[in-house]
Amino acid sequence: MTRPRLTYFDAPVSRGEECRLALHLAGIDFEDNRISQAAWPALKEQTPYGALPVLELPGHPPLAQTNPILLLIGRRHGLHPTDDLEAARHEAMMQHVEELRHNVSPTIRMGDAEKKAAREALVAGFLPAWGKAAERNLGSAAPFFAGDKIHVVDLKLHMAVRWFLGGKVDHIPATIFAAFPKLMGVHDAVRDHPGVKSWYEK
């Protein structure tokens, strides 16, 4: 292996996609290793924590857990604050996105009736509360979390909103976060960022 390799499922979603975007924005020439669901069981036990994404850097053991991967890329390439207090503020919001996933992802594996009930409960309670907390912590900076410069936290917020915006998550409206203009603004600013656009034009 002569260049960094990111391994994730073959879809432009979630934790893997935000790592791909971070690597691309950082200007890193990386191997975008996309695996099929069929290949996953054989690979799972070879990963550090039995989950993806995994980042491999030449000469180092594989790295797992999305936020630490993003923080490494961010710190090395100017996509995460150098001030430790400001960095902690970003990391809290990054953890907030992980908590969204921890609450919604288990519904993916549910049967239809259970999934419908669980997601309707999320729509009634957890999701608006999550959006409200995200909005409150976005403060007055715009268009990104910390103003006019994009950071890895913005990639996570973008992916969180994008998850639902396509309207493909059954029982969760595409407009679930529409009442939160700052959150939607971060989503749009990342979507329109030239570096992000160039990833999708590749």
Ligand X SMILES: N[C@@H](CCC(=O)N[C@@H](CS)C(=O)NCC(=O)O)C(=O)O
**Which positions lie near ligand X, rule CB under 6 A?**
14-15, 44, 51-52, 65-66, 98
In the complex, minimum distance from the CB of residue 53 to ligand X, in angstroms, rounded to a whole number? 6
Q: Which is nearer to ligand X, 44 or 76 (CB)?
A: 44
Is the Cβ–Cβ distance between 38 and 62 less than 8 Å? Answer: no
Q: Which two tokens stand for residue 93?
A: 């919001």
Q: Which is nearer to ligand X, 52 or 186 (CB)?
A: 52
Q: How far is CA 47 from CA 7, 44, 67, 193, in A?
A: 10, 6, 16, 32
In the complex, minimum distance from the CB of residue 164 to ligand X, in angstroms, rounded to a whole number? 16
Q: Which is nearer to ligand X, 107 or 189 (CB)?
A: 107
Is the Cβ–Cβ distance between 151 and 144 less than 8 Å? Answer: yes
In the complex, minimum distance from the CB of residue 4 to ligand X, in angstroms, rounded to a whole number? 17
Q: Which is nearer to ligand X, 163 or 180 (CB)?
A: 163
Is the Cβ–Cβ distance between 54 and 62 less than 8 Å? Answer: yes
Q: Which is nearer to ligand X, 44 or 136 (CB)?
A: 44
In the complex, minimum distance from the CB of residue 65 to ligand X, in angstroms, rounded to a whole number? 5
Q: Which is nearer to ligand X, 102 or 202 (CB)?
A: 102
- Residues 202, 199: Cα–Cα separation, whole Å: 5
User: Which residue in 45, 41, 51, 49 sits closest to 7, CA to CA?
Assistant: 51
Beta strands, E only, 42-194? 54-56, 63-64
In the complex, minimum distance from the CB of residue 124 to ligand X, in angstroms, rounded to a whole number? 25
β-bridge mates for residue 38, sequence order:
none
In the complex, minimum distance from the CB of residue 179 to ligand X, in angstroms, rounded to a whole number? 26
CA-derived radius of gyration, the chain: 17
